[in-house]
Chains A and B, each alone.
Chain A
Amino acid sequence: MPTVLSRSALTSTAIAVGLAAALVATGSSQALVIGIITGAGYGLVALGLVLVYKSSGVFNFAQGEFGTVAIYALYRVHDKIGVPLIPAIVIALAVSVAMALVTERVVIRPLFDAPRVALLVATAGVALLAISLELWLGEARPRFIQPALGRLNRLSLFDVAVSDQRMLVLAALVILAVVLALFFSRTNLGLAILGVSQEPVATELMGISVRRLSSFIWALTGLLAGIAGILTAPVAGSFAPGFLTSTALIPGFTAAVLGGMKSLPGAFVGGIVVGVAQSLAVSSPAFHSIPGAGSVMIFVLLLIVLTVRPQGLLGRA
C-alpha cells in the first residue's frame, strides 16, 4: 500500500501543482481557490463512492442523500431544539451513519447475490425515498443557514480573500485527508478494507469477513457523506431537499471516474480537478452565454474521460 500511495500521491501532486501554476499565471486564482475548496467536498463524496464501488461493485446513488440527511438532522437538533453545535454535529453524523447502515442491512445485503443493476436501482430508490421524506416532513423551499463563523474574510490564498467558513472547510478537509491516509495505511481495519476492495476472495481466505466489513464500509461512507454535507451546506448558504444529490453527486461520480473508480487518492484529486473545472466554467466570461455552464462542463469532462482515458487519470491501462 505505501508504494501505491506514494506513486499516486506523487503523480497527483504533480498534476495539482501544474494546474495551480497555470491558473495563477493566467489570472484565474479566484476560480482556483473556490474550485479547490468546493472540489475537496466533491472529493469526499467521491471517496465514499469509490469505497463502496470497490467493495461491493455498486454505484451508490444514495451517497448524496446520506449527507443531506445529516444537514437536516443538524438543522433540527441545533436550530430547532437548541443542542450546542458540537454535540449536534455528532448527532447529525450519527444519523447519516445510521442511514447508511440501515441501507446496507435492509437493501444491499438481501441483494448480495443479485446483479449489479438491481443494486444500482435500489440505491437510486433509497435516494428518492430520502428526498421524498425530506420534502414531506421538512419543507420544499430552500432553507437558509448562518455559517458557523460568520462571513469574515481575514485570510487570503493567492491574493484571494477567503471567508472563514471556507477556511474552516479547507482545514477540516486537510485534517480528514491525513486521518484517512493514516487509517488506510496504519490500522488493521483500514488494511482489511483495502484488501477486500482489491482481492475479496483472498481476503476472505485470510479469515476476514467480507460481509461484516461491508457494514463497516457503508458506515464509513455515511460518515464521509455526512461530513461533506455539513461542511458544504453553510458555504452554499442554503439547502433544500436533495441538496447534496443535486450539487455533489454527479461531480463526485465524475471525480471517481477521473480516479478510475479504483484509487482513493485518485478520487480525491479528481474531486479537486472537477471543482476547479466547474468554477472556471462558471466564472469565465467565455462561457457566460451558456446557461448552466457548470453542469455542461462536468458532463463534457465525464464524456472526455470515458472516451479518452476510461482507466482514470492515474490508472494504468
Chain B
Amino acid sequence: MSLEIQPQASPAVEPVADSIAVEVVSPPFRPGLAGWVARGVVMAAVAAVVFLVPTVRGNVEVHIYTQAVIYAIIGLSLNVLLGYTGQISLGHQAFVGIGAFTSAYMVTVQGQPFLAAIGMAMVVGGIQALVLGAVSLRITGLYFALVTLAYGTMAEESLFNIQKLTGGSAGQPAPKPMWFTTDLRYYYLCLAFLTAVVWVDWRLMKTKGGRALAAVRENPRVAATFGTDVKVYTLMAFVVAGVFAGLGGALLAHNDTFVVRDLFNFQLALVFVIMTVVGGLRNRTGVVIGSAFFSLVGYFFDKLFSGGLHVPGIKVLPKEYAPIVIGPMLLLFTLTRHPGGMGQRIRPIQRWLRGGRFSSRDTHDDPTSSGGERVSDVRA
C-alpha cells in the first residue's frame, strides 16, 4: 500500500524542495572590472606602505618599524595560546627575553652564525613552553597563567642576572647578521620572518592538530568524547607559541644590537597580552595590526604631543607611559563591549578585498568567518 502512495507523494514534494534550493544557492557575488581595480589599488597601497615607506624614512624610524614587525610575531605567538587553546601566558616577556639572550649569547660569546643562533632561540623557547605547559596542564583551569607569571618574575630576578649568560646589568651585544647590517635590510628580513610565521600559523591550523584545537575550543567534552587528546594538542600549541616567542626575542635582540635585561619586565608581558586581545583573537591580520599599533603608539604619541599629552588639571602624560595607560583602557573596552577587537572592524575590509561584498554580516559559506571572532568564545 505504501509503495503505491510514494510515487504520488514525491512529485508533489520535489518542486517545493527545488524552489527552496534555488533561493539558498543564489549566484555568488562577484565584483565587476571596476571593483577588481579598486581592490587592486587598495592592496597596492597597503603593500606600498609596508615595503616602500621605510625606504624614505630615517634609520631611527625604520628601527621602530622593525620593532613593530617583531611585535607582530610575538602577538601571533600569544594568539596561538590565547586564541587557539584559551590559555594565557603572563610571562611572555621571559619567553621573548630568553630568546633574545640565547641568540645574543650564541652570536657574541659562542661565535655562532646568525641562523644557528635564531634556531637555538626557537628550540629553547619551545622547550620552556613544553615544560611549563606540562606542569600546568596537570590540573584543569588556568594554571598556565600562574606558572608563567611566576616564571616571568623568576627570569627577571634570577635568570637575567646571571652574568655569564646575559652580561648582567651591562647587557649583551647582539650584532646584526651579515648582509643585513643596515636597518632597512634588517626590516625586510624581519618582514620575511613574519610572513613565514603567518604562513606556518595558517598551515598548522589547517592540519589535524589545528582542527582538533578548534574542536577542543568549541567544546572540550565533546572533543574528548570523539577521542581527541586535548592535552597533547594543547601542549603542541604551547610549543608553537614558545618557538614563535623565541624567534621574536632573537629578532628583537639583533634589531637593538644590544640586549638589556630591564626591557623584559612584567609591564611588557601585559602589553603583549593587550595587543593580542585588542587586535582580535584568531584573526591574524587583526593581531598583526594590534601588535604594530602598540609597538608604534609610544613613538607617534611623542610626535603628536611632543613632550607628552597635557591633560588639563592633571600631570603631563609622558610618551613612555602612553602604551600602558592607553592599553589597559582599550583592553577593558574590548573585553566588555567589543569582543572581536580590531579584527572585527577590519573583517568587512578583508571580505571586500577577497572579492566579496563590504558587509560585517557573517555568512556561513564565507571562509573568513570560520573560527569565530569573540574573545568570549574561548572556553577555560
Contact = CB atoms under 8 A, between A and B. Distances in A.
Interface of A: 57, 59, 61, 106-107, 110-111, 113-118, 120-122, 124-129, 131-133, 135-137, 242, 245-246, 249-250, 253-254, 257, 290-296, 298-299, 302-303, 306-307, 310
A290 B147 CA distance: 20
Contacts of A114: 335, 375-376
A137 B335 contact: no
Interface stretch (B32-40, B84-92, B193-201, B293-301): B84-92
A290 B157 CA distance: 10
27 contacts: A106-B336, A110-B336, A113-B376, A117-B378, A117-B379, A118-B335, A118-B375, A122-B331, A122-B332, A122-B335, A125-B332, A128-B274, A128-B328, A128-B331, A129-B329, A136-B317, A137-B314, A250-B150, A250-B153, A295-B153, A295-B158, A299-B150, A299-B153, A306-B136, A306-B139, A306-B147, A310-B138
B324 interface: yes
Given A116-B141, A293-B158, 18 more contacts: A59-B145, A106-B336, A107-B332, A107-B335, A115-B86, A115-B380, A121-B375, A124-B90, A124-B273, A135-B321, A136-B321, A137-B315, A245-B266, A249-B149, A253-B149, A296-B154, A298-B154, A299-B150
A261 B149 CA distance: 17
A118 B378 contact: yes
A255 B318 CA distance: 37
B324 A132 contact: yes
B138 A307 contact: yes
Contacts of A125: 270, 274, 327-328, 331-332, 335
A59 B335 contact: no
Contacts of A303: 135, 147
Contacts of B139: 306, 310
A307 B134 CA distance: 9
Given A118-B375, A250-B149, A242 B336 contact: no
A122 B336 CA distance: 9
Given A115-B379, A117-B87, A246-B266, A296 B158 contact: yes
Considering residues B87, B141, B157, B328, which has the most beta carbons from chain A within 10 angstroms of its beta carbon?
A: B328
B43 interface: no
A133 B135 contact: no
A129 B332 contact: yes
Contacts of B321: 132, 135-136
A209 to B, nearest CB: 22
A116 B142 contact: yes
Considering residues B162, B267, B274, which has the most beta carbons from chain A within 10 angstroms of its beta carbon?
A: B267
A254 B145 CA distance: 12
Contacts, number: 156
Nearest to A256: B146
B378 A306 contact: no
B143 interface: yes
A253 B314 contact: no
B115 interface: no
The 4 A-B pairs at the shortest CB distance, nearest first, are namely A292-B157, A292-B158, A116-B380, A129-B328
Contacts of A290: 158
Nearest to A304: B135
Given A115-B380, A132-B321, A121 B335 contact: yes
Contacts of A291: 157-158, 161-162
B325 interface: yes
A115 to B, nearest CB: 5
Contacts of B90: 61, 124
B335 A306 contact: no
Nearest to A140: B321
B82 interface: yes
B270 A128 contact: yes
Interface in B312-356: 314-315, 317-318, 321, 324-325, 327-329, 331-332, 335-337, 339
A263 to B, nearest CB: 16
B151 interface: yes
A128 B154 contact: no
A124 B270 contact: yes
B277 interface: yes
A57 B379 CA distance: 13
B162 A120 contact: no
Contacts of B377: 115
A232 B375 CA distance: 37
B336 A111 contact: yes
A124 B270 CA distance: 7
Nearest to B136: A306
Contacts of A126: 328, 332
A290 B135 CA distance: 23
A22 B151 CA distance: 29
B83 to A, nearest CB: 10
A61 B267 CA distance: 13
A299 B146 CA distance: 10
A131 B270 CA distance: 11
B338 to A, nearest CB: 12
B336 A107 contact: yes
A96 B88 CA distance: 27
A117 B142 contact: yes
A117 B82 CA distance: 8
B331 A121 contact: yes
Contacts of B88: 117, 120-121
Nearest to B132: A303
Given A117-B378, A295-B154, A310-B139, A302 B147 contact: yes
A126 B335 CA distance: 12
Interface string B264-285: 0011001101100100000000
Contacts of A136: 315, 317-318, 321, 325
Nearest to B309: A136
Interface in B233-280: 266-267, 270-271, 273-274, 277
A137 B315 CA distance: 6
Contact of A302 (B150, B162, B327): B150
Nearest to A300: B154
A8 B151 CA distance: 30
Nearest to B276: A121
Contacts of A242: 266
A68 to B, nearest CB: 13
Contacts of A132: 267, 321, 324-325, 327-328
